[in-house]
Amino acid sequence: MNPNRSLIHGIVCGVRLEDISDPLMQNIRYLDKLIDEFAKGKAMGKILR
């Protein structure tokens, strides 16, 4: 996993990424967020805020 994944912020499935306490679930949601944003056509710079 990329060490910069913590730069991804936002909400996935109604849950804020920063509020997830389980590290495994948080990593899964980071990937989910990336896939969702790429599917919408957003650039990596816009996703990593």
Say what the pTM is. 0.77
Q: Tell me the one-letter amino acid at 34.
A: L
In the predicted structure, residue 23 carries a pLDDT above the cut 90: yes
- Three-state secondary structure call for residue 37: helix
Check residue 49 and give its pLDDT: 66
Residue that wins the pLDDT comparison between 11 and 45 = 11
- The burial of 17, by beta-carbon neighbours within 10 Å (0-12 exposed, 13-18 middle, 19 or more buried), is given as middle
Q: Give the per-residue pLDDT at 16.
A: 93
Mean pLDDT of 13-27: 92
Tokens encoding 29: 């949601």
Q: How far apart are CA 20 and CA 42, in angstroms?
A: 24
Number of domains within the chain = 1
Can you give the CATH number for the domain in which 40 is found? Answer: 1.10.8.290
Residue position matching structure tokens 């991804």: 8
What is the arithmetic mean of pLDDT over 38-47?
85
What percentage of the chain carries pLDDT values higher than 70? Answer: 98
- 30: enclosing H helix or E strand: helix 23-39
